[in-house]
Amino acid sequence: MNFDRSKRLFEEGQKNLVGAVNSPVRAYKSVGGTPLFIKKAKGSKIIDVDNNQYIDLVLSYGPMILGHRPKKIEKSIVKALKNGYTFGATSAGEIELAKIICDAFPSMDKVRFVNSGTEAVLSALRLARAFTNKNKIIKFSGCYHGHTDALLVAAGSGLATLSLPGSSGVPKEAVQNTLIAEYNNIEKVKNHINKHDDIAAVILEPITGNMGVIVPSPEFISELRRITKEKGILIIADEVMTGFRSKFGGAQELIDLEADITCLGKVIGGGFPVGAYGARNEIMEMVAPLGDMYQAGTLSGNPIAMASGIATLKELKKQNPFDTFNKVAEKIETILKEAAKENNIALQVNRFGSMINPFFSKNRVVDFETAQTSDTEKFKTFFWSMIQNGVFLPPSQFEAWFLSTALSNKDLKIIEKAIYAAMQAIDQHHNS
């Protein structure tokens, strides 16, 4: 494959963009080489500026669950565009999308739309503190909840990719009320709860996606819910990635987690910038204009984003692809494991619903510490071989892959061929 145009754009972008990107993982620091610049996408395929075509397993990190530019969604967006781009006032689409979401989440009576997952999370934290009149938050190492100051400690994904412990510009005062626990380790949570009587909430990804896909144990979830209820501590489920990806609703239901506040994003905008947070009435009625927890946004509930979200969720409910997603993910897991075994490569594969990823490690991956035992040098080789063989992956060992309904049997055969080639490349470069 030729990447000349991407290389030229990367050099050109250095002048006026920070690192020629607008989100750090796009810089390909963890895999080396030049980032790919994308020109267009359709269905299961994404095409770069050098006209190289790939099967897309990034899907903008999740929202393109129906594939790129499905006809029904595009038609709804075009229709909405003809009525105007933004009003700074309420429109009927906000009510319709809110009803779809609340009907899909038993724990939600009301929802507030915002513009990103980060915005949803920072609002949920403020709401939890307002409702409980407490200040401290427990988060789990390796879980990433956006770049809000209070949670930009022991985060996964981008920070793990760049080997950064936190972020410059975050004062210690901003994180003094943030307590760090280990995912799947209830004793660490209990230690914090026993030491502090002012914990407002525990925030977690029901299924992690930012240190790779990790599923919590049933015992961890049940004990977490029991002890938080006992102490009057809220649970915030960050379903920005997982919402509508394993069922029509939240992953929290599938793991028997009763969340108090849920954060959403990605899929509910169908590719447009949308986030949301929701909860039962007694919590959400703390939010202005009903209560004194203030949060606002001129572009929140943008009519184009609402139209895209409504059309996406209606079509997703109609297609009901979740059993198929499980079967496809299982097939990809089998291919990964067999190809790794054939080439004598230590590999773990974690998956949940339409999220999957391999870890180049001999250790079972259950938390951030075990995720970090992965051989990132092997992942580099794997990543670029997959690219060369026409499969577009997240440029990080610590990011989930995503499936879409647009994947065909032909696509799966290309993915299978690419995986075997990538494992052979690892064997040649690292096992010899």
Q: How does DSSP classify residue 214?
A: B
* pLDDT band at residue 154 using 50, 70 and 90 as cut-offs: low
Is residue 127 within 8 Å of 286, Cβ to Cβ?
Answer: yes
The reported pLDDT for the residue numbered 36 is 97
The reported pLDDT for the residue numbered 162 is 36
In a shared domain, residues 308 and 340: no
- Mean pLDDT along residues 141-150: 85
Residue 161 in this model has a pLDDT that exceeds 60? no
Residue 420 in this model has a pLDDT that exceeds 80? yes
Backbone angles phi, psi at 203, to 5 degrees: -110, 135
Among 17-26, 42-51, 412-421, name the one with the lowest average pLDDT.
Answer: 17-26
The reported pLDDT for the residue numbered 160 is 40
Per-residue pLDDT reduced to its tens digit, 162-212: 333 356 777 777 788 889 999 999 999 999 999 999 999 999 999 999 899
Averaged pLDDT score across all residues of the chain: 94
In a shared domain, residues 155 and 229: yes
The reported pLDDT for the residue numbered 163 is 33
In a shared domain, residues 13 and 106: no
Positive/negative CA dihedral, 282, 286, 290, 295: negative
In a shared domain, residues 53 and 113: no
Q: How big is the CA angle at 174 (ends 168 and 176), to the nearest 5 degrees?
A: 115
401-402 sheet: strands from edge to edge: 348-352, 355-359, 401-402
In a shared domain, residues 273 and 203: yes
Residue 155 in this model has a pLDDT that exceeds 70? no
Pick from 301, 318, 335: which residue ends a domain? Answer: 318
- Mean pLDDT along residues 342-367: 96
CA distance 16 to 18: 7
141: left (phi over 0), alpha (psi -120 to 50) or beta: beta
Pick from 275, 296, 318: which residue ends a domain? Answer: 318
* pLDDT band at residue 151 using 50, 70 and 90 as cut-offs: confident
Return the CA Rg of the chain.
21
In a shared domain, residues 78 and 107: yes
Question: Range of 371's domain?
Answer: 4-69+321-430
Among 123-132, 166-175, 260-269, name the one with the lowest average pLDDT.
Answer: 166-175
Residue 159 in this model has a pLDDT that exceeds 70? no
Domain count, the chain: 2
The reported pLDDT for the residue numbered 431 is 74
Residue 331 in this model has a pLDDT that exceeds 70? yes
In a shared domain, residues 205 and 276: yes
In a shared domain, residues 58 and 75: no
- Which tokens belong to 32? 């080396």
342: domain CATH number is 3.90.1150.10
In a shared domain, residues 254 and 380: no
Tokens 């409980």 belong to 132
In a shared domain, residues 240 and 357: no
The reported pLDDT for the residue numbered 176 is 83
Q: Which residues pair with 53 in a beta bridge?
A: 47
- Mean pLDDT along residues 284-308: 97
Query: Which residues are marked as active site?
Result: 144, 238, 266
- Mean pLDDT along residues 42-53: 98
The pTM of this model reads 0.94
In a shared domain, residues 14 and 125: no
Helix or strand (DSSP H, E) at 236: strand 234-238
- Mean pLDDT along residues 116-140: 96
- Give 66's contacts (C-beta < 8 A, 6+ positions apart): 73, 270, 312, 315, 316, 319, 404, 405, 406
* pLDDT band at residue 158 using 50, 70 and 90 as cut-offs: very low
CA distance 424 to 116: 40
Per-residue pLDDT reduced to its tens digit, 60-114: 999 999 999 999 999 999 999 999 999 999 999 999 999 999 999 999 999 999 9
- Residue 357, class by beta-carbon neighbours within 10 Å (0-12 exposed, 13-18 middle, 19+ buried)? buried
Is residue 267 within 8 Å of 62, Cβ to Cβ?
Answer: yes
Per-residue pLDDT reduced to its tens digit, 359-411: 999 999 999 999 999 999 999 999 999 999 999 999 999 999 999 999 999 99
Tokens 């006992």 belong to 230
Pick from 266, 298, 318: which residue ends a domain? Answer: 318
The reported pLDDT for the residue numbered 148 is 81
In a shared domain, residues 89 and 218: yes
